[in-house]
Each structure stands twice: as structure tokens, then as C-alpha cells.
Copies of this chain bind each other. A is one copy, B any other.
Amino acid sequence: MLQDAIVASPKTPSTTNHLLLRLARKEREAFLADCEPVDLEFGQTLCEPDDAYGFAWFPQTGFISLMVPLTGHPPLEVGLIGNEGMLGATLVLGIDQVPMRAVVQGTGTALRIPVAALKRHVASDPKLERVLNRYLYVLLAQLSQTAACTRFHEIGERLARWLLMTHDRAQADHFHLTHQFLADMLGVQRSAITIAAGLLKDKRLIRYSRGEITVLSRRGLEAASCECYAAVMADYAQLMG
């Protein structure tokens, strides 16, 4: 999978990022020529709130969490970005920063493009602008949905939703996540995750051991998750196609 992303002839670099795949061939190639493949390493912080961006990132196989830090509390995850999206969507607004912290959450690769180059491409390719605009809208929808979800839905439902989102972005049935890590993402106690995960395990929806989680039944997880998973997917499908 990593191969798909970076092994390509110099003339026609390819990508697995869904946003970039929407561009016309010619513009995509021009865009990719300005990109640089980089490794995303688990735990790496790509930016802090109000940091100026130097680059935008288009994940290929890795994925990135958007987190809101509050003093005196663990940071809360409010968005997840994989190869269906990008980090830096607000650049299309002409604002070179983001109000959140971005942390690599799944090791893998991404394409990185300097802000100036991105802006140049946006100015010259209406289709690119359109794609980024739409993605920004989806991000907005995701944020608002997540706000309500975090308030009202129970840990088990939220865990199932989160596993599904990760499953989509990991592009594999199997990924590394400890209970502690999940607790941090959802903003809950570690022991609450152990209990909720234990229930999912009992229902044979997932298997796990020492941080290695395997999804056994997507369908089951979808039934166990709150409506928010489907809602966000529907928004994405409606706008991005």
C-alpha cells in the first residue's frame, strides 16, 4: 500500500488521496509535481492551534487527528483525516492556520505541499478549489456532529464509531491502538474503554490483544455505533460524490 503512494514514474506521479484523485489528469500531475512524499509517524504533532502552516498534508496511508486542547483536561479529538481528506483545508480561505492541534494517529505516508504552491494551484484550477471548498464544508459538518455526539452518546457507541472511522482510514482490518490511547481520543477513562471494548469483544465484533485491534464485523460495529458515523459518511458522500 505504501508502494502505491511513492513508487511511480517521475513523469506521472500517482496518489491514493481521494481529493487529489478528483482533479483532472493534467492539473493533478502539475499538483503532484510540487508535492513531496513524507512519512507520518505515530504521535508526531504537525501543528498547534494558531500555528502558521508551512505545508498542507494529503494523507495517503497515514491518518491525522484534529484535537482541541483545554487547560486542565486531556485534549479532545474532534476530527479525523485520512486519505479521504487533507490537513490544511482552511488554506482555501486564505488563512494560513488552523484552530486545532493536528497529531499523527496512524503511521503511514502523506503528500506534503508548500502553502504557496497550494495557493497557486487553487488559483489556477477551479476544480481544485471546488474540491477543497467542499471538503472544508464536510469538515464543518463533522465538527458539529461530533460536538453533539460527544455530549450525548454513550462510550460504547462512540467507541464503535471511532473504530469504524479508523478502520476506513487504516485501510486494513488490523491496527495498533491501546485502550489508553482510545480513552484519550474519546476523552474518557481508560477503564471505561476496557469495559466498552470488552463488550464489543464479547459480541465478536472486534478482537484485540495488547494494542493490536482487529475488526471482525464492520456491520456489527455499524449497528453498535451511534447515528453519527452514518451521518458524517452521508455528508461526505453527498458532497464529494
A interface residues (Cβ-Cβ under 8 A, vs B):
50, 66, 68, 70-71, 73, 75-76, 78-79, 90, 93-95, 99-100, 130, 133-134, 136-137, 139-141, 143-153, 187, 227-228, 235, 238-239
The answer to whether A152 and B99 touch across the interface, beta carbons within 8 angstroms, is no
Give how many copies assemble into the complex: 2
- Assembled-state Cα–Cα distance A161/B147 (Å): 17
- Assembled-state Cα–Cα distance A158/B75 (Å): 18
The answer to whether A68 and B148 touch across the interface, beta carbons within 8 angstroms, is yes
Q: A70-B148, A70-B149 are in contact. List 19 more A-B contacts (CB 8 A).
A: A66-B144, A70-B153, A71-B227, A76-B148, A78-B144, A79-B144, A93-B134, A93-B137, A94-B133, A95-B239, A99-B137, A99-B141, A99-B144, A140-B140, A140-B143, A147-B147, A148-B187, A150-B151, A151-B151
Chain B residues within 8 Å of A50, by CB: 238
Partner of A140, one of B73, B99, B133: B99
The answer to whether B95 and A134 touch across the interface, beta carbons within 8 angstroms, is yes
Chain B residues within 8 Å of A76, by CB: 147-148, 151-152
The answer to whether A145 and B94 touch across the interface, beta carbons within 8 angstroms, is no
- Assembled-state Cα–Cα distance A182/B239 (Å): 34
- Assembled-state Cα–Cα distance A222/B82 (Å): 38
Name the CB-closest residue of B to A187. Answer: B151
Name the CB-closest residue of B to A145. Answer: B68
Chain B residues within 8 Å of A228, by CB: 70
- Assembled-state Cα–Cα distance A108/B17 (Å): 46
Measured CB to CB, the closest approach of chain B to A226, in angstroms, equals 8
- Assembled-state Cα–Cα distance A140/B91 (Å): 13
